Each structure stands twice: as structure tokens, then as C-alpha cells.
Amino acid sequence: MVIVDGAGERYANEALPYQAFTDRMYAADRPEATTVPSWLVLDARSRARYVFAGLLPGQPFPRRWLESGFLKKAATVEGLARQISAPALAATVRRCNGFAERGVDEDFGRGESVHDRYYGDPTLPHPNLAPIDKGPFYAVPVHPGDIGTTGGMVTDGDGRVLREDSTPIRGLYAAGNCSAAVMGETYPGPGATIGPAMAFAWAAVNAIAGERGAAAGGP
């Protein structure tokens, strides 16, 4: 599969972590070839081999997707390009098919990192590159989303929420996705918020217990 802008051209490595890819979507957006939304293009071979949008390999697309216009379908890449008004799509697919044959993405380096290959298909000659050449061909829109893993209230090591001057707000604690992530503006992968949420919740509860104990005159 490939993800292309409104003109039908790639603008990023599709195997990036989804948060990093969303950053690329916003950075590449321009009026003459929007990336918000983009188009994800795949062929019948990909649909037969892989899970897609909650569908099992080989499971037909729901008819309502086609009827609503959410899913575009065509016998040829050129036909699909006309449906989504992406004049460069056919050339993009031909170029990517060449990358698959040579085993290197010369434009964006898809498959060069360990992360890319870990999430690829190890049964292929190249785990992240394969030709898009078996019809029918499909396209679905891709919109950026917000899962809230890097924003939120800044806390100290005990989970106490801090003011702008770094002093704690008495009685206010935060953990999980309502607090700023310990990873800063990056996101290493699925589940990366679970460990910090558990750790900071544990720290906050202990701090709360200590404050209550002190208020009650305990040790």
C-alpha cells in the first residue's frame, strides 16, 4: 500500500509510527495537494493477505463503504486515480513497484529501520515493499487523529500538577493521558502510556497517603 496526497504523490515513509506520520501529514499539507485528508491505496493482493481497518485477510469490504463513497474501487490504477482526482497516482504506483523490485525505497527509505521491518511481512523478499499490481484497486481517505498521549498537565515525580512557575498545586494530581508524557513529544509505540500511567499513579497515591498521614499527625 501507499499513502498519497491529493495529487497522488507520496510525501512520507508509510511505515513510520503513526504519531510521526501524522506530523508529516500536517507538515506536507498545501492547498494544491492536500494531505489532510490523504488517500491510502492498496490492491487485491494486499486485501487478501493482511488485516485492514478491522477486517480479516480476504474479508470483503462492507457494501456500505462503497455505497457511501468512503471506499473507492476501480479495475485499474488509472481508473482509481480519476475517482479520487489524483493525476500523479499511476506514476507514483509505477515508481513504488520499481522500488519493490529493487528492494529499496529511494524516496523515503521505507523499510530501512528496525522499527519498519519489525512491523513488516517477513515472508516477503523485502518486508516493507511489495508491488501494487493486482486489481481491483482501492482507496480510502486517511485523516489525522488525536489520541492524547503527549499533551496534558505537567507533573513532578510524585504526580503533583505544577503551575507555570513549577510550584505544585496542593491536592491536584495527574497520571496517564491527562498528564504530559514522560516521552515528551515522541511516542515509541502502542502501550507506551500504560507503564508511565501505572508508575505515576503509584507515586501519586503514595504522596497522597503521606500528606494525609502528616496531616493526621502520623509519621
- pLDDT tens profile 16-75: 988 889 999 999 999 999 999 999 999 999 999 999 999 999 999 999 999 999 999 999
- Per DSSP, the three-state class of 171 is strand
Q: How far apart are CA 215 and CA 17, in angstroms?
A: 46
Grid coordinates of 87: 493525476
Grid coordinates of 89: 497516482
pTM: 0.78
- The share of the chain scoring above pLDDT 90, in percent, equals 79
Please answer whether residues 204 and 173 qualify as being in contact, where contact means their C-beta atoms are separated by less than 8 angstroms: yes
Q: How far apart are CA 215 and CA 121, in angstroms?
A: 58
Please answer whether residues 172 and 163 qualify as being in contact, where contact means their C-beta atoms are separated by less than 8 angstroms: no
Q: pLDDT tens for residues 188-217?
A: 777 788 888 999 999 999 999 987 766 666
In CATH, the number for domain 2-142 is: 3.90.700.10
Q: What is the pLDDT of residue 20?
A: 87
Q: What is the pLDDT of residue 145?
A: 83
- Per DSSP, the three-state class of 155 is strand
- Domain boundaries along the sequence of the chain: 2-142, 160-215
Grid coordinates of 27: 507538515
- Burial (CB < 10 A; 0-12, 13-18, 19+), residue 190, is exposed
| pLDDT classification of 106: cutoffs 50, 70, 90 | very high
List, in order, residues 6 or more apart from 58 with CB less than 8 Å away: 47, 48
- Mark 137-161 as b/e (b = at least 16 C-beta within 10 Å): bbbbebebeeeebbebbebbebbbb
Q: What is the pLDDT of residue 113?
A: 94
Please list the helix, strand and coil fractions of the chain in percent, rounded to the nearest 5, in that order. 35, 15, 50
- Mark 69-79 as b/e (b = at least 16 C-beta within 10 Å): eebbbbeebee
